[in-house]
Chain A
Amino acid sequence: MKTPIVSLKGVTFQYDGQERNALNHVSFDIYDGEWLAIVGHNGSGKSTMAKLLNGLQFPKDGEITVCGMKLQEETIWDIRSKIGMVFQNPDNQFVGTTVQDDVAFGLENMGIPRLEMVQRVEDSLKKVKMEQFLHQEPHHLSGGQKQRVAIASVLALRPAIIILDEATSMLDPRGREEVLETVRTLKDEKSLTVISITHDLEEAAKADRIIVMNKGEVFREGTPDEIFSMDEQLVQLGLDIPFSVKMAKAFRAEGIQLSKHYLSEEELVTELWTYRSRM
């Protein structure tokens, strides 16, 4: 698992007409098959980084390598075919007039022969459980359904890496869980690498690793357990600590010992109701 699939070395980026660098000497690796969550306050440069990985913007300085290819003009189309991106707004990434047209859009761009396209459209819609909506128009779909179509569009291109840029932030809790569950299943099935940019620390908590961004720099990287042990510091960075972490902290203050630092809500509940028997 420890082979880097993406690596950034000293990446710096500045938008035209902007005084501050949106990214400042950012260096880190993303490993093959991991679920990496990237968190950080608004404007910390998360989306910018996602765009750089995909060659939608070029770094002012530094080097990006994706699947062994150095990112530059010549490799950009190969790299784009390795990375699928799902964006925040479900409407503004729906290109086709119907569900099937939207999934086919990327395939058409790659010049895939029609018969194979039909097969791939069908397969990837099945994967996200949207196969009965083949002919549906986008304005008749819910936000969660549109995001699942967006995932299908990305899957059809058979990427190695999926980037979710706040892909669930405009959805209700049910839509959010639907989308995340879909991605989780697919990740296991296809050994995808998932980069999930999110404000939702509950979601980030389920990742293998978390990177915390602050003002265009990597502030800290580590496992959820390590990241949540920063407690107050996270709040200062403008992030909201999950409820279970706050609870666990309160328990610890009361002298109740818990097995590890970060616990999901279920883990916390299990730990609590088995607490006596462990003593």
Chain B
Amino acid sequence: MMEKMIFGRYVPADSLVHKMDPRSKLTIIFLFVCVIFLANNWQTYAIIGIYTFFMIGLSRIPARFLYGGLKPVLWLVIFTFLLQIFFTREGTVLFHLGPLKIYEEGMKMGFYISFRFFFLILMTSLLTLTTTPIEITDGLETLLGPLKKVRFPVHEMALMMSISLRFIPTLMQETDKIMKAQIARGVEFASGPVKERIKAIIPLLIPLFVSSFKRAEELAIAMEARGYRGGEGRTKYRQLSWKMVDTLQLVFLAIITVLLILFRS
């Protein structure tokens, strides 16, 4: 289940979006997050909407996967919607809901903000659904590359991320094993009062910690034995390749931005 949360997000498919360079995808997401704040009337929201659904169409990701990403935040969207409706007191009164007056402006703001949320979530889900975690890591490493000049440990961060990605499944398997071993010794993980269940986590965590430290030490030795001495002078095996689609996608987003500026009120 945990594995799904972290890895299961990626859905392999043969689409244009999958083929895009993680650098361009990350840049587009970053720009999208900024650009979405340009929208302030129904025309501009429509443009954003069309753009989002166009990208989803390109990615060929089945809707149920996108819904999976939306589900946990759906309540938040509904909550902000209601908040806007009930607490904005501008414009004409649309109708009465018991003692509450629903204003036109409130209705509008509610819809706009929920849509903004909705599109943001869709686009970011699209990134994780079409890009493997390691690609995201590589993309971030190159994009943040210039920060090395100000001594920001970009290479180390990327290495940490990739080693974590490498060890998550291993540690999952191990957790599973320890859990079974403790169940065999009579520990109850799945039933009993909450306090007892929290206590039951301890005999799970301690062996896990001990073995993780041992792993870390051995891994460090193995890395050093294979000549690891920091990011200096290192070459890279995994290669990112910027293709025509990437440039076109950026141009496309630029056009969308121009349209947004033209149509916003």
A96 near B227 with CB under 8 A, answer: no
Query: Per a CB cutoff under 8 Å, which of A51, A84, A97, A109 touches B229?
Result: A109
**Stretch from A113-121, A124-132, A174-182, A200-208 forming part of the interface with B:** A113-121
Measured between alpha carbons, how far is A121 from B218 in the docked complex, in Å? 23
| Residues in B neighbouring A111, C-beta threshold 8 A | 233-235
Nearest B-chain residue to A92, judged by Cβ: B218
Question: Given A51-B221, A77-B229, A89-B218 in contact, is the A97-B165 Cβ separation under 8 Å?
Answer: yes
Would you call A92 and B222 a contact (CB within 8 A)?
yes
How many residues of B are in contact with the other chain, CB < 8 A? 28
Question: Can you list 14 pairs linking A and B with CB atoms under 8 Å apart?
Answer: A80-B226, A89-B215, A91-B215, A92-B218, A92-B219, A93-B222, A94-B166, A97-B166, A106-B227, A109-B229, A109-B234, A111-B235, A137-B169, A157-B227
Fill in one digit per residue for A148-176: 1 if any B CB lies within 8 Å of its CB, else 0.
00000110010000000000000000000
What is the minimal beta-carbon distance from B42 to any residue of chain A, in angstroms?
45
C-alpha spacing A117/B234, complex, angstroms: 12
Interface residue A22 (Cβ < 8 Å from any Cβ of B): no
Cβ of B227 and Cβ of A138 under 8 Å apart?
no
Instruction: List the B side residues contacting A100 at CB < 8 Å.
Output: 237
Is B4 engaged at the interface, CB distance under 8 Å to the other chain?
no
Per the bound structure, the CA–CA distance linking A139 and B234 in Å amounts to 26
Contact of A101 among B219, B229, B233, B238 (CB under 8 A): B238
Which interface residue of B173, B214, B221 has the most chain A CB atoms within 10 A? B221
Closest chain B CB from A215 CB (angstroms):
23
The dominant DSSP class at the B interface is: helix
Kindly state the separation between the CA atoms of A137 and B214 in the bound complex, as whole angstroms.
21
The answer on a CB contact under 8 Å between B237 and A108 is yes
CB closest residue in chain A, given B169? A139
Please measure, in the bound complex, the distance between the C-alpha atom of A107 and the C-alpha atom of B229, giving whole angstroms. 12
Interface size on A, residues (CB 8 A): 40
Q: Nearest A residue to B166 by beta-carbon distance?
A: A97
- Whether a CB of chain B sits under 8 angstroms from the CB of A36 is no
Q: How far is the CB of B154 from chain A (nearest CB, A)?
A: 15
Q: A139-B170, A139-B173 are in contact. Are A95 and B215 (CB under 8 A)?
A: no
**A244 interfacial contact with B, CB 8 Å:** no
CB distance from B165 to the nearest CB of A (A): 6
Give the A-B pair count, Cβ closer than 8 A. Answer: 91
Quick check: is B191 within 8 A (CB to CB) of the other chain?
A: no
Given the known inter-chain contacts A93-B222, A95-B222, A137-B169, please indicate yes or no for A108 contacting B162, CB distance below 8 A: no
B74 at the interface (CB under 8 A from A): no
- Residues on B with beta carbons closer than 8 Å to the beta carbon of A112: 235
- Contact among A51, A77, A95 with B219 in the assembled complex (CB-CB below 8 Å): A95
Whether the Cβ atoms of B166 and A95 lie closer than 8 Å is yes
By Cβ-Cβ distance, the 4 closest A-B pairs, closest first, are A104-B237, A93-B222, A92-B218, A106-B226
B225 at the A interface (CB under 8 A):
yes
Given known pairs A92-B215, A95-B163, A97-B162, the reply for A87 and B222 (CB within 8 Å) is yes
Contact with A along B112-148 (1 / 0, CB 8 A): 0000000000000000000000100000000000000
CB of B239 within 8 A of CB of A114, answer: yes
Q: Binary interface profile of A, 251-270, with partner B (CB < 8 Å = 1, else 0)?
A: 00000000000000000000
Distance to closest chain B CB from A97 (angstroms): 5
Instruction: Give the most central of B166, B169, B224: most A CB within 10 Å.
Output: B166
A92-B219, A117-B237 as given contacts; A109 in contact with B227, CB under 8 Å: yes
Query: B94 in the interface, Cβ–Cβ < 8 Å?
Result: no
Within 8 A of B (CB), among A59-111: 77, 80-81, 83-85, 87, 89, 91-97, 100-101, 104-111
